Structure 1
Amino acid sequence: MSRPAHGPEITTGGVRFRAWAPRAERLAVRVDGADHPLSPAPEGWWTGEVRGAGHGTRYQLVLPGGRALPDPASRAQPDGVHAASEVFDPARHRWRSAFAGLPLEALVFYELHVGTFTAAGTLDAAAEALPGLAELGVTCVELMPVQPFAGARNWGYDGVQSWAVHAAYGGPAALQRFVDRAHALGLAVCLDVVYNHLGPEGNYLPQLAPYLTDRHRTPWGDGLDLDGPDAGPVRAYFLGAALQWVRDFRVDALRLDATHAIRDDGPRHLVAALCDEVSALARREGRRIHVIAENDDNDRRVLDPPPAGWGCSAVWADDLHHALHALVTGERERYLADFGAPEQVARALAEGFVFQGERSAYRGGPHGTPVAGLAPSRFVACAQNHDQIGNRPHGERLAALLPWPALEPIAALVLLGSALPLLFMGEEYGETRPFQYFTSHGDAALARAVSEGRRAEHIARGQGEPPDPQDERTFLRSTLSHRSDGRHGALREHHRRLLEVRRRHRDAIAARWPEVARDGAAFTLRRPGLTVRANLSDRAGAGLGPWGWSVTEG
């Protein structure tokens, strides 16, 4: 990368600090109570070296008048998003495991939220549970965002320092330890990153530079300026952050949040540029690194190669979730209004997208693009994920919504269906605790607005009063129980056996779509050497009893 690097760089005798701050008349870096003036450089950059500084040095950027800010490109924020930054040297970690990644078709995702996956809520505690996930048969642990956010509790999509790791999770060194432990077990690690907006509290970027523009509006306000005359450093900020995760932390995949909300009308979309740079790094290092996009548009451009497409490895395909959920629960609110017919489940299993240009009643027009020529391994599908559970008013999981026997055929369709499967933490044993929306904003006005806004939204939909996101009890009741007794242990064993079958037939499942037959709400999926039957009904069908399933090999 020829573009200037954001943030600190450790040198032989100290630390060189860099910041893009064209809105500042002067800029200094404060280290150990002393302010060191930075020198202006072209295009609004400021730079300077502080001798004697190094790993662990606390520092702040200082504006004229003495106002001190954290560095938006810091690698560590040990005391939170408003406090001093800390220099972090990623080269200090001595990697124990040489791991080159996994092929796309081998990926079975397990999505987890660090703060609620264990009672301790840290990366080190999560690492202790990795052997159990490897034994279960998942192959890629997907971490919800770990970038710093205000307070201790948050889903992570309110991050404001895109280069750092949340201190309550253990900071950047803990992420390196987590990845190293996963690699030693043969597990890949996918990191969820957010490049469509920044959180509302602790975002100091606009005080330094024009990162935002009113030319692009998003659900979160002004959009990022990725395509204007001053967009170079803005793009460098996010591209550099993405590359450091795969380079310095050896993450094997990036999941890009809400790419449909990344507004970029420039000649090369940010996501396409990110894919280019990640691919180049993977070639240089001889690794398999995947870029996976969440995209609400059912747009194959996300997957198609350049120059027409972005070149992502895979895309989250929500249609299977929507079709399954609407069928088995009977719910039809909002986007689920387009779903509910059994033939939509069949199409999602046979093609990936249900909507490939057909009219969506919810969206009021055509939705999606044809998927001809795309392999099943280009899609990631699930029956549950953080959004689909947590955006419900009370965060109920399927285990709390459906008869217990229904969980087995659903698992059979997702794990042995078509796309790369994703399990949300606790799904494998039928966690009945909810996963609710929680925050811990320190800004009182913001906290009140978030609580009142969520309450008003769900009451207006006739869904009742949701729990207060700011109430710590909302967070605590979302922590996993890790139950293994009785039916919970049996359901986990069911998932383990299904994943064992998937492992034996991995290449066939990933390479070709199955033939899908339907008898009411009972489905039969056929591939050479593998037939899967699953009845998503309390009535008999396809030779199966209520909520029955079967797997035949050979």
Structure 2
Amino acid sequence: MQFGVWAPRAREVELVLGAGQEGRSVPMERTDSPREGWWTAEAEGAHGTRYAFRIDGGDPRPDPRTGWQPEGVHAAGAVVDPATFAWTDSGWAGRSVHGAVVYELHVGTFTEAGTFAAAVQRLDHLVELGVDVVEVLPVSAWDGPWNWGYDGVAPYAVQHEYGGPDGFAAFVDACHAKGLAVALDCVYNHLGPSGNYLAEFGPYFTDKHDTPWGAAVNLDDTGSVEVRRWICDNALRWFRDFHVDALRLDAVHALVDDSPTHVLAQLADETAALSAQLGRPLGLIAESDLNDAVMVTPTAAGGRGMDAQWDDDVHHALHAWLTGERQGYYADFGDAEVVKTVFEEAFFHAERFSSFRGEVWGKKVDRATVPGTAFLGYLQTHDQVGNRAIGDRIGHLLSPARQAAGAALYLLGPFTPMVFMGEEWNASTKWQFFTSFPDPELGKAVSEGRRGEFGQHGWDAEDVPDPQDPATRENSVLRWDELGAPEHARMLDWYRTLTGLRRSVPALADADLRRVRVDVAGNALVLHRGDHRIVVTLGEGTDVEVGGAPVEVVAAFTDGPAPELLATGVRTAAESVVVLRVASAA
């Protein structure tokens, strides 16, 4: 087979076959093919063959495009041959992300075993919950067995402890067999701190721009054509070789690119072309804090071409209103009028002053051209839980009725809803930040840095869990035995009820933001969705008129008395959410 690597500055490159330092060396020839700066060599190899590259007599390093690191990110990689995967999903037609119920899943804590194979055993739970798309947190190889996934250093590789490339392929295949699409979280804005050898091969990074993680990935400097190809080829590989249906792109605002064509637009066009070739929808979901719908505007209209983007304003509005927290970036949120604005306009910070950022932020969304489903709405995410000092979930902060109310609003609202794993049964386990770096000095720096960061914000450092302590990961693993407990079963039933309503009632899946209306009166907030109303009451119970016509209760969750129907409205309990159907829409 032919081995190749891009190393434009190298004087000589050797292919090292074998797993150890004493592997057999094969001289490589600079061929400038498929593009300038490439070196190639012919050698025997097959799925699983160990190999690395030696640049100018240095230590053997993993291939920047390695697909498998069985002995860790510092060792030789292994050849991955997609033809060896025994796919059974030839009948899979794909699934658009728009309006889908998305479920954010971290493989390492979804089950005690923390593997793809173990996750497969829980897919029926997701089907019964009403999930359409399983969004998997990053699986690209990092140093150590456990990690959130955002410290990956081998974007093409699949973490070996999870099950490697074969395990991931089997997971995707099993999801498709259950009718579940798969979205994969990909990190292109930075690499982790241990095992990153890319700079030894070529100009993968540039000092032209800065990011919160150090030198920026080179998207517009000398050599950037090949780096952009490295990113786009990686994304297309997940679609083509692993049958993935969508990609979630981490923190795209950190992909600083002054090129005439932004790398995201390039990727969007190439993804569209591959989608046409494969005959199934392929989605791109961006995480962006820019509050700008240019992200989901087609490239032909000058946009970045993403199918959807995370909308943290939905989270912030619901979280601050329901919990009363106002610190940090919650400062501008917190009352029902902000919830109204976000649900009607998609963003709160849209040409409004952001006190957290200290400047006017965001742009208004053209509701006539951009559907609500272009934005993901949620009550929790891995970030919003795990980046709290002790990793406490929304259920640790709220009464069940308040969580149920938040869930009803985003699951029956105009956005593409996303559930964070365990949220659906109000899991008791926290989800904390954890790492497992083998290097003791790096591990110590991470632990001290985490505690120091939260100490500056008033937390007792002793309360902040040590990311390197194995117990931190263990404490974050979901407890599936909880599902049988009444309080957890009740919440799970509520989430299933909501997804069922979204699927069966067209008005509750309507994506047109122009038809969304939210009324705020005293303790009550009423979300209008066609002939349905979602009534949330916080504080004291109240009488709510909903449109001058008789109503019926479709579903309700309350910590007090059951809702009482009035002639054209409902009398609610102090903390409750009621889904009503109006006999004739107002």
Please report the TM-score for the alignment, with normalisation by the length of structure 1.
0.95
Name the counterpart of 1:91: 83
2: CA distance, partners of 1:430 / 1:381: 18
Equivalent residues in 2 for 1:126-137, closer than 5 Å = 126-137=119-130
Equivalent residues in 2 for 1:52-131, closer than 5 Å = 52-65=44-57, 67-97=59-89, 98-131=91-124
Name the counterpart of 2:471: 473
Query: In 1, are the aligned partners of 2:309 and 2:374 still within 8 Å (CA)?
Result: yes
Name the counterpart of 2:554: none
Query: In 2, are the aligned partners of 1:521 and 1:541 still within 8 Å (CA)?
Result: no
CA gap of 1:320–1:66, structure 2 versus 1, over 3 A, is closer
- Residue identity matched to 1:476: E
Query: In 2, are the aligned partners of 1:195 and 1:262 still within 8 Å (CA)?
Result: yes
1:430: Cα distance to partner?
0.3
Name the counterpart of 2:388: 392
1:24: Cα distance to partner?
2.2
Name the counterpart of 2:363: 369
Query: In 2, are the aligned partners of 1:258 and 1:293 still within 8 Å (CA)?
Result: yes
2: CA distance, partners of 1:398 / 1:316: 18
CA RMSD of aligned residues (A): 1.4
2: CA distance, partners of 1:213 / 1:450: 25
Name the counterpart of 2:8: 22
1: CA distance, partners of 2:541 / 2:327: 25
- Residue identity matched to 2:26: H
- Residue identity matched to 1:41: T
After superposing the two structures, state which structure 1 stretch, 326-335 or 531-540, moved more.
531-540
- Residue identity matched to 1:495: Y
SS state at 1:69 partner: coil
CA gap of 1:447–1:506, structure 2 versus 1, over 3 A, is farther
1:538: Cα distance to partner?
5.6
CA gap of 1:227–1:281, structure 2 versus 1, over 3 A, is same
Query: In 1, are the aligned partners of 2:507 and 2:530 still within 8 Å (CA)?
Result: no
Name the counterpart of 2:504: 504
Query: In 2, are the aligned partners of 1:106 and 1:506 still within 8 Å (CA)?
Result: no
Name the counterpart of 2:347: 353
1:553: Cα distance to partner?
3.6
2: CA distance, partners of 1:219 / 1:521: 41
Equivalent residues in 2 for 1:332-481, closer than 5 Å = 332-372=326-366, 373=368, 374-465=370-461, 466-481=464-479
Q: Deviations over 1:307-327 (max 9, x none)?
A: 421011011001011011111
1:146: Cα distance to partner?
0.4
Q: Deviations over 1:64-100 (max 9, x none)?
A: 3351111121111111111110001112112212212
2: CA distance, partners of 1:184 / 1:536: 42
Name structure 2 gaps, 5 residues minimum. 545-570
CA gap of 1:228–1:494, structure 2 versus 1, over 3 A, is same
Q: In the alignment, which of 231, 235, 246 is matched to residue 253 of structure 1?
A: 246
SS state at 1:226 partner: coil
Equivalent residues in 2 for 1:169-184, closer than 5 Å = 169-184=162-177
Please report the TM-score for the alignment, with normalisation by the length of structure 2.
0.90
Name the counterpart of 1:314: 308
2: CA distance, partners of 1:37 / 1:267: 38
1:213: Cα distance to partner?
0.8
Say which one has the larger Rg. 2
Name the counterpart of 1:534: 536
SS state at 1:59 partner: strand
CA gap of 1:521–1:127, structure 2 versus 1, over 3 A, is farther
- Residue identity matched to 1:370: K
1:541: Cα distance to partner?
6.4
Query: In 2, are the aligned partners of 1:519 and 1:541 still within 8 Å (CA)?
Result: no
Does 2:492 align with 1:492?
yes
- Residue identity matched to 1:337: A
Identity of aligned residues (%): 44
After superposing the two structures, state which structure 1 stretch, 512-521 or 169-178, moved more.
512-521
1: CA distance, partners of 2:12 / 2:144: 30
2: CA distance, partners of 1:508 / 1:136: 17
1:536: Cα distance to partner?
4.0
2: CA distance, partners of 1:432 / 1:519: 33
2: CA distance, partners of 1:400 / 1:358: 32
CA gap of 1:509–1:368, structure 2 versus 1, over 3 A, is same
Name structure 1 gaps, 5 residues minimum. 1-14
1:442: Cα distance to partner?
2.0
Does 2:261 align with 1:265?
no
- Residue identity matched to 1:456: G
Does 2:134 align with 1:145?
no
CA gap of 1:105–1:211, structure 2 versus 1, over 3 A, is closer
2: CA distance, partners of 1:355 / 1:126: 38
2: CA distance, partners of 1:30 / 1:530: 65
- Residue identity matched to 2:531: G
Flag as ranges the 4+ runs of structure 1 deviating above 6 A: none
After superposing the two structures, state which structure 1 stretch, 423-432 or 541-550, moved more.
541-550
Query: In 1, are the aligned partners of 2:190 and 2:213 still within 8 Å (CA)?
Result: yes
2: CA distance, partners of 1:361 / 1:294: 21
Query: In 1, are the aligned partners of 2:435 and 2:468 still within 8 Å (CA)?
Result: yes
Query: In 1, are the aligned partners of 2:108 and 2:162 still within 8 Å (CA)?
Result: yes
Does 2:204 align with 1:204?
no
CA gap of 1:537–1:21, structure 2 versus 1, over 3 A, is farther
SS state at 2:104 partner: strand
- Residue identity matched to 1:27: V
SS state at 1:157 partner: coil
SS state at 1:503 partner: helix
2: CA distance, partners of 1:306 / 1:214: 28
2: CA distance, partners of 1:245 / 1:104: 16
After superposing the two structures, state which structure 1 stretch, 143-152 or 99-108, moved more.
99-108
SS state at 2:98 partner: helix
Q: In the alignment, which of 290, 308, 318 is matched to residue 297 of structure 1?
A: 290
- Residue identity matched to 1:63: I
Q: In the alignment, which of 513, 516, 519 is matched to residue 517 of structure 1?
A: 519
1: CA distance, partners of 2:236 / 2:335: 42
1: CA distance, partners of 2:141 / 2:425: 30
1: CA distance, partners of 2:530 / 2:454: 47
